């Protein structure tokens, strides 16, 4: 149960956590430009992925887990997020994710604090309705799949800029991605940087990732993951939508699709009712708030 | 009366809420079947059908009403004559137990109030109630139910004030009183102590004697309320609480008085006690050997805890001592090999004395007794638990095994598997295997091992 919630927190966040180590300033919007190195492009990619441009955000999310036979399982969450980037206690973000459906998991809620230090793990607390109790939870292993999804904890939660080495493979127009879930094609002929990312950790469950980074937003719109034998085993697609907030354009992930090519299982995550910089108070992200859960 | 008014208010508010779209509800229907493992002869232990519905209504952003109702019926007591004696208490939900939650939440800045029928859980222990003593418990199925179903909710004022970020002062005023309940005679999990007592009572009757039972509940006065206090805060990345509880012990203790011949009087009285405690948790987040490990713990001093003293050999309780006992626990959790969660707990329950300092009774009648069995109680009881859980099939199939045991070679092993058939349909099956001496807490149920299934439909 604990792991489930850590996992779903990840899904819900989409934007994950802790970029850290980047020398980009919080609460600004960055875009990659011609002539940037692979490292510079990837710092922006992580910055966008982890929504470090926004002070706070609220989301309503749905996750669909679809197996090879087409059987679908669903989860719904609402979540709050505050970006702090505070040096005094090293806290980068705080996230609160609450499950709203299905009823079996309704009420489960996870509070996570992410630190700026890339070596430091998150602190997580879980509200367990069947106990009416908060439990501090250990963070699941980075290579673990979560909640039946096709992402690892690392894909969404814990991978940081410092975990890989990068090189620019090319610049090209993305051929487009047909999403099985929405039956639409996205980003056809979109100019991208193509980046190869290799994990420093070895052996590891993947040998490299090939990412297509949108030149317009810095968002990693598509990636291919290769196993230690060099065989493609997973693809991840992300659709970004620009939100105009106080004159700034925030790229937010509205749709995510991950496919495990070995099992035929795929995961789709949609984000709705996305709101940025609405003045969420930090006292929403405390154990005490979790303790007040009703479900 | 006050309670009825609150319930009516809630129901009225809910109907209004529905119209305004401020209403949220969910619930479930569940079937639980338990089959006795002993001899594998298919003895039914339960065939329980449960319905539960919960709803909340947001009156305003800072005022919310919440209620949960539950009903269950156990068919087994209709067609298993051997359980006839338990029919009344175990066959269906009792009295007002159907109302599980009914409260109003009010938030104003640093203040948070929850007023009404509710349960409050303290502490970090998993499956053991060390600080978790605010509510009485329903042990009609021993400790096998979920804690949310085991705790008996009470009407109370739960007042919280957060003077600074990440800290909280909680004050509980609980004028309501309910006693903890155990399985009646004739149920699968009747305690051995109760069975021995009932046998003795029946034997007295058979020889023409009598046993008059009197239960003395605390008078309904404000000063008889239970009062609780919890301070929670953080030091660095260590979360801790300080706890205090002052109220009536939820389990009555029996005093048997001989009236001459084979006539007896048994007074069941509730004693006031206090609990002083503390809990902590910490996850090691920095790199190193400990990274990823969560440590947690509870410590409680039970001041004036009513403790049976008597002769465990003859199961004869002679008096109730008000001892200062200590219960503490430390636990650790860690993920290994990708998705295997290991949890380990060690606890000690330490009685004030190994033997009562009372020379007015024969030596053999001065020993502390296990209240579940009337067997002997060790001065220091060492308790261990290990839990391993993982998942398969994209977390659709979740096996788990829990083993709890003591240094007296008694314990319980409970493996289970949960499978998500659909979003709203979940199936669980598992086993509870008990072992140990008949006079030990788990050993008393060594012939009540259970194979069970649960089918839950949620909406």
Chain centroid to CA A156: how far? Answer: 4
| Contact assignment for A287 to B239 by CB distance below 8 Å | yes
B272-283/B316-336 β-pairing? unpaired
Task: Say what the pTM is.
Answer: 0.88
Distance CA B251, CA B253 (A): 6
Distance CA B398, CA B212 (A): 51
Distance CA B378, CA B440 (A): 10
Q: How many CA atoms lie less than 13 Å away from B83 in the CB half-sphere?
A: 24
CA distances from B361 to B185, B239, B309, B318, B446 (A): 31, 47, 11, 9, 33
Distance CA B99, CA B11 (A): 12
Helix (H, G, I), strand (E, B) or coil at B388: strand
Q: Choose among A148, A164, A147: nearest CA to A223.
A: A164
| Contact assignment for B292 to A147 by CB distance below 8 Å | no
Q: Choose among B433, B443, B444, B448: nearest CA to B194.
A: B444
Tokens of B414: 């409970």
Q: Choose among B277, B276, B300, B295: nearest CA to B285.
A: B295
Tokens of A3: 């792991």
Compute the nearest-CA separation of A224 from chain B (Å).
Answer: 20
Q: Choose among A3, A258, A261, A254: nearest CA to A147.
A: A3
| Contact assignment for A131 to B146 by CB distance below 8 Å | yes
- End-to-end CA distance of chain B, in Å? 32
Q: What is the DSSP string of B131-178?
A: S--SS-BEEEEEE-S-HHHHB--EEEEEEEE-SSTT-EEEEEEE----
Residues in chain B: 459
CA distances from B395 to A107, A111, B8, B74, B401 (A): 19, 21, 42, 32, 16
| Contact assignment for A137 to B333 by CB distance below 8 Å | yes
Q: Which residues of B touch A132 (CB under 8 A)?
A: 119-121, 147-148, 151
User: Residues of chain A whose pLDDT is less than 70?
Assistant: 1-22, 139-140, 146-148
Q: How many CA atoms lie less than 13 Å away from A74 in the CB half-sphere?
A: 10
Distance CA B66, CA B335 (A): 36
Q: Choose among B134, B97, B147: nearest CA to B225.
A: B134
| Contact assignment for B147 to A131 by CB distance below 8 Å | yes
| A153 to chain B: closest CA residue | B338
CA distances from B198 to A250, B5, B186, B195, B367 (A): 72, 40, 11, 5, 22
B163 touches chain A (CB under 8 A): no
B27 touches chain A (CB under 8 A): yes
pLDDT of residue B84: 62
Q: Choose among B451, B59, B134: nearest CA to B300.
A: B134
Which of B236, B423, B456, B459 would you mutate first to test chain A, the one with the most A CBs within 10 A?
A: B423
Determine which helix (DSSP H) or strand (DSSP E) holds A40, and give its type and residue range. Answer: helix A38-49
Contacts of residue B4, Cβ cutoff 8 Å, sequence gap at least 6: none
pLDDT of residue B137: 95
Burial profile B370-394: b = 16 or more Cβ within 10 angstroms, e = fewer: bbbbbbbbeeebebebebbbbbeeb
Q: How many CB atoms lie within 10 A of CB A172?
A: 13
Which residue has tokens 């039946």? A148
B185: DSSP letter: T
B161 touches chain A (CB under 8 A): no
Q: Which residues of B touch A141 (CB under 8 A)?
A: 292, 335-339
Distance CA A247, CA A30 (A): 14
Burial profile A18-49: b = 16 or more Cβ within 10 angstroms, e = fewer: bbbebeeebeebbebeeebebebbbbbbbbbb
Q: Choose among B79, B58, B83, B68: nearest CA to B27.
A: B68
| A73 to chain B: closest CA residue | B423
Strand partners, A27: none
Distance CA A141, CA A254 (A): 26
Distance CA B371, CA B404 (A): 19
Distance CA B15, CA A152 (A): 44
CA distances from B348 to B11, B137, B326 (A): 46, 21, 8
Which of B164, B285, B294, B402 would you mutate first to test chain A, the one with the most A CBs within 10 A?
A: B285
Nearest CB to B424; choose among A7, A103, A292: A103
B319 touches chain A (CB under 8 A): no
B273: left (phi over 0), alpha (psi -120 to 50) or beta: beta
Compute the nearest-CA separation of B245 from chain A (Å).
Answer: 18
Compute the nearest-CA separation of B425 from chain A (Å).
Answer: 8
Which residue has tokens 């749709």? A255
Q: Choose among B331, B273, B325: nearest CA to B298.
A: B331
B369: DSSP letter: B
pLDDT of residue B11: 54
| Contact assignment for A140 to B339 by CB distance below 8 Å | yes
Distance CA A105, CA A295 (A): 10
| Contact assignment for A145 to B394 by CB distance below 8 Å | yes
Per residue of chain B (459 residues), give pLDDT as tens: 455 555 555 555 555 545 556 899 999 999 999 999 886 666 888 999 999 999 999 999 899 999 999 999 998 877 766 666 666 777 888 777 899 999 999 999 999 999 999 999 999 999 999 999 999 999 999 999 999 999 999 999 999 999 999 999 999 999 999 999 999 888 889 999 898 889 999 999 999 999 999 999 999 999 999 999 999 999 988 999 999 999 999 998 888 888 888 899 999 999 999 999 999 999 888 888 888 899 999 999 999 999 999 988 888 888 899 999 999 999 999 988 778 899 999 999 999 999 988 778 888 889 999 988 888 899 999 999 999 999 888 888 999 999 999 999 999 999 999 999 998 999 999 999 999 999 999 999 999 999 999 999 999
Distance CA A171, CA B248 (A): 74
Distance CA B183, CA B143 (A): 11
């Amino acid at each position: 149960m604990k792991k489930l919630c850590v996992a779903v927190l990840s899904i819900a966040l989409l934007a994950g956590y802790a970029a850290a180590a980047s020398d980009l300033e919080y609460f600004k919007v960055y875009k990659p430009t011609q002539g940037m190195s692979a490292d510079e492009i990837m710092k922006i990619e992580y910055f966008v992925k982890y929504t470090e441009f926004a002070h706070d955000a609220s989301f309503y999310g749905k996750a669909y887990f679809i197996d090879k036979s087409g059987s679908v399982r669903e989860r719904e969450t609402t979540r709050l997020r505050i970006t702090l980037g505070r040096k005094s206690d090293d806290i980068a973000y705080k996230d609160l994710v609450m499950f709203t459906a299905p009823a079996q998991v309704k009420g489960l809620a996870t509070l996570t604090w992410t630190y700026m230090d890339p070596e430091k793990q998150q602190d997580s607390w879980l509200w367990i309705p069947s106990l009416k109790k908060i439990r501090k939870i250990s963070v699941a292993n980075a290579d673990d799949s979560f909640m039946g999804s096709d992402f690892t904890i690392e894909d969404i939660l814990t991978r940081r800029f410092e975990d890989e080495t990068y090189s620019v493979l090319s610049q090209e127009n993305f051929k487009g991605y047909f999403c099985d879930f929405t039956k639409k094609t996205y980003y056809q002929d979109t100019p991208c940087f193509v980046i190869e990312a290799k994990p420093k950790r070895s052996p590891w469950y993947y040998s490299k990732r090939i990412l297509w980074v949108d030149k317009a937003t810095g968002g990693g719109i598509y990636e291919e993951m290769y196993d230690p034998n060099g065989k493609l085993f997973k693809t991840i697609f992300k659709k970004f939508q620009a939100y105009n907030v106080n004159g700034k354009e925030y790229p937010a992930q509205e749709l995510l699709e991950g496919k495990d090519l070995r099992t035929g299982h795929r995961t789709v995550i949609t984000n709705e009712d996305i709101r940025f910089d609405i003045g969420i108070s930090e006292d929403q992200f405390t154990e005490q708030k979790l303790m007040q859960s009703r479900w | 009366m006050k309670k009825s008014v609150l319930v009516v208010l809630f129901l009225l508010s809910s109907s209004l809420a529905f119209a305004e779209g401020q209403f949220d509800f969910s619930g479930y229907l569940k079937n639980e079947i338990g089959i006795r493992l002993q001899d594998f002869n298919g003895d039914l232990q339960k065939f329980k059908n449960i319905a539960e519905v919960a709803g909340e209504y947001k009156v305003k952003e800072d005022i919310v009403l919440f209620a949960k109702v539950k009903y269950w019926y156990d068919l087994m007591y209709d067609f298993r004559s051997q359980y006839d004696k338990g029919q009344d208490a175990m066959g269906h939900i009792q009295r007002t137990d159907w109302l599980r939650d009914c409260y109003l939440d009010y938030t104003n800045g640093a203040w948070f109030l929850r007023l009404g029928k509710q349960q409050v859980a303290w502490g970090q222990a998993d499956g053991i109630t060390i600080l978790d003593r605010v509510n009485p418990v329903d042990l009609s199925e021993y400790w096998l139910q979920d804690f949310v179903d085991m705790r008996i909710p009470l009407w109370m004022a739960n007042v919280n004030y957060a003077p600074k970020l990440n800290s909280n002062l909680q004050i509980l005023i609980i004028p309501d009183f309910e006693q903890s309940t155990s399985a009646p005679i004739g149920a699968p999990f009747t305690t051995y102590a109760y069975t021995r007592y009932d046998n003795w009572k029946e034997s007295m009757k058979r020889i023409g004697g009598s046993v008059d039972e009197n239960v003395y509940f605390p008078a309904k006065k404000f000063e008889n309320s239970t009062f609780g206090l919890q301070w929670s805060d953080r030091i660095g990345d260590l979360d801790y609480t300080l706890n205090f509880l002052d109220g009536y012990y939820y389990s009555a203790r029996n005093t048997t008085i001989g009236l001459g011949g084979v006539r007896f009087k048994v007074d069941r009285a509730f004693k006031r006690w206090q609990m002083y405690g503390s809990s902590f948790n910490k996850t090691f987040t920095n790199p190193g050997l400990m990274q990823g490990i969560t440590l947690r713990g509870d410590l409680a001093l039970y001041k004036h805890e009513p403790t049976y003293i008597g002769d465990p050999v003859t199961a004869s309780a002679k008096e109730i001592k008000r001892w200062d006992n200590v219960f503490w626990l430390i636990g650790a959790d860690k993920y290994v090999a990708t998705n295997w969660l290991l949890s380990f707990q060690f606890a000690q329950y330490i009685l004030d004395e190994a033997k009562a300092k009372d020379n007015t009774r024969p030596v053999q009648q001065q020993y502390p007794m296990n209240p579940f069995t009337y067997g002997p109680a060790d001065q220091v009881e060492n308790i261990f638990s290990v839990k391993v859980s993982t998942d398969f099939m994209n977390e659709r199939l979740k096996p788990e095994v829990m083993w709890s045991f003591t240094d007296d070679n008694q314990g319980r092993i409970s493996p289970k598997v949960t499978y998500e058939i659909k979003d709203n349909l979940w199936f669980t099956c598992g086993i509870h295997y008990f072992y140990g001496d008949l006079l030990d807490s788990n050993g008393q149920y060594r012939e009540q091992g259970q194979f069970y299934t649960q089918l839950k439909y949620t909406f």
